[in-house]
Every structure is written in structure tokens, then in C-alpha cells.
Structure 1
Amino acid sequence: MTKLVLFLAANPNPITLTVTPETCADLAPRLTQIVRNGHTQPIPGPDGREYVVNFSNVVVAHFE
């Protein structure tokens, strides 16, 4: 599994979401644009749950 690591403006501790390789492949090319534009984006988790991330609060995001 791949991890999406999010650093929020108001929180010094990162938030880590586990995502499937397919989700990573889908989001990775667009991640810069999503963070830059502050989009709200649904992120599917590996267990079928869906996370909704408001990227307007994200300062840094990357995949591990």
C-alpha cells in the first residue's frame, strides 16, 4: 500500500492516509494542481472507505 501524507497549515503533525497503488497512480500527476487550487477531493481508501480532503488547508502533500 501507498501512503498519502498531508501537512495542514494549522497542525504541525502530518496526517497519513493509506491508499491503493491505483489511487496513487490517479492522484500523483494531479496532486500539485489539487493542492495549488485548494480543491476538495474524495480519496478512496483501501478498505472501501472514502476520505474527503479539503486541500485548501493542506500546505504540503506527498506520497510515500
Structure 2
Amino acid sequence: MPQLTWQKASFSTGGEGNCVELAAPSQIHLREGDHPHDIATATPRALAGLLHTLKSGLDSGS
């Protein structure tokens, strides 16, 4: 895997390990601050679908 430049999510707290980070050279890479070596990878389209589904569930009160 190429060297990734990670960006901390704007809603993450300032504490060490309490954050979600993202890197996106061509695919989207996500990791959680407590486990930086565990990386989930998705295409932009798949991540957009997941976020849409999660937001829909929150909007419907599920």
C-alpha cells in the first residue's frame, strides 16, 4: 500500500485515539485512532452508498 496522508474527521475529539481518519488517493481508506493499523478500504461510490443508508436510518428515527 502506498504511503497515505491521513486527515482527522472534523467531529473527532482532540484526545489521542478518539478519532476517525480518512485518506483518499484513489480509493477511500478509513481507520479508527485506537487501531491505526486496521484499515477499511472502499470505492467512493460504495462509501457514498453506506453514508446515504446510515443517514436515511437516522432521519427515519430507526
TM-score normalised by L of structure 2: 0.32
TM-score normalised by L of structure 1: 0.31
Structure in which a larger fraction of residues adopt helix: 1
Of structures 1 and 2, the one scoring higher in RCO (CA 8 A, sep 6+) is 1
